[in-house]
Amino acid sequence: MKQELKKNTPLYPENDGECEILSRITDSPLDPAELLKRANSPESGARVLFSGDVRGFNLGHEVHYLEYEAQAHLAEKIIVDILNDAREKWPLQSAFCVHRTGRIDPGEVAVMILTASAHRKDAYESNRYIIDRVKREAPIWKKECFIDGTHSWGGHPDAASKNTGQI
């Protein structure tokens, strides 16, 4: 079944005066402070920032680095649709998703989701909704390269959760 992307979705950033949307794939390091500052507004009583960081260990192996790749244009469009779906469900002033590609070392940030709303409940719930969908739907892939020279391609979160209980 075809998964239609919404037509005429503008590429980002977009701000209609009520909610600013930002969807970006970048190979540059991510700065959580910059994203928090951008979402600071008098209307928002709560800003929730999710920072997805590279762990130093996974599956019993010491991680050397992760390598992310994306079909960037399509990923940004799909994320735009996810962010717009979130703002239809929750009253948000900001909905941002920035995902990094290329080599990322342990301790560095791979993805950031920021949601801002008048109240924390909406900001928390929408943030979780966005990252869960981004992980499942955006054409972005992760290769884990371990210190021992082996590597592993990241699995889809639905498959991963069967093995670890975590997504």
Partner 1 sequence: MNVRIRIHVYAQLKDYFDPEFDLLLPENSRVGDVMQRLSELKPAVRDLIAVCRLADNESLMNADQTVRDGDELYCLPPASGG
**Smallest gap from residue 38 Cβ to partner 1 (A):** 21
**Smallest gap from residue 117 Cβ to partner 1 (A):** 22
Q: Looking at residues 54 to 113 of the shown chain, list those that interact with partner 1 (rule: CB under 8 A).
A: 68-71, 73-75, 77, 99, 110-111
**Smallest gap from residue 50 Cβ to partner 1 (A):** 9
At 54, phi and psi to the nearest 5?
-80, 125
Of the candidates 32, 33, 15, the one whose C-alpha atom is nearest the C-alpha of residue 92 is 15
Question: How many chain residues interact with partner 1 (CB under 8 A)?
Answer: 35
Which of 17, 33, 149, 153 forms a contact with partner 1 (CB under 8 A)? 153
Q: Which is nearer to partner 1, 44 or 141 (CB)?
A: 141
Residues 10-15: contacts with CB within 8 Å, 24+ apart?
10/80, 11/76, 11/77, 11/80, 12/76, 12/80, 14/80
Find where tokens 């190979």 sit: 27
Of the candidates 76, 58, 84, the one whose C-alpha atom is nearest the C-alpha of residue 152 is 58
Give contact residues for partner 1 (rule: CB under 8 A). 1-5, 52, 68-71, 73-75, 77, 99, 110-111, 131, 134-143, 153-157, 159-160
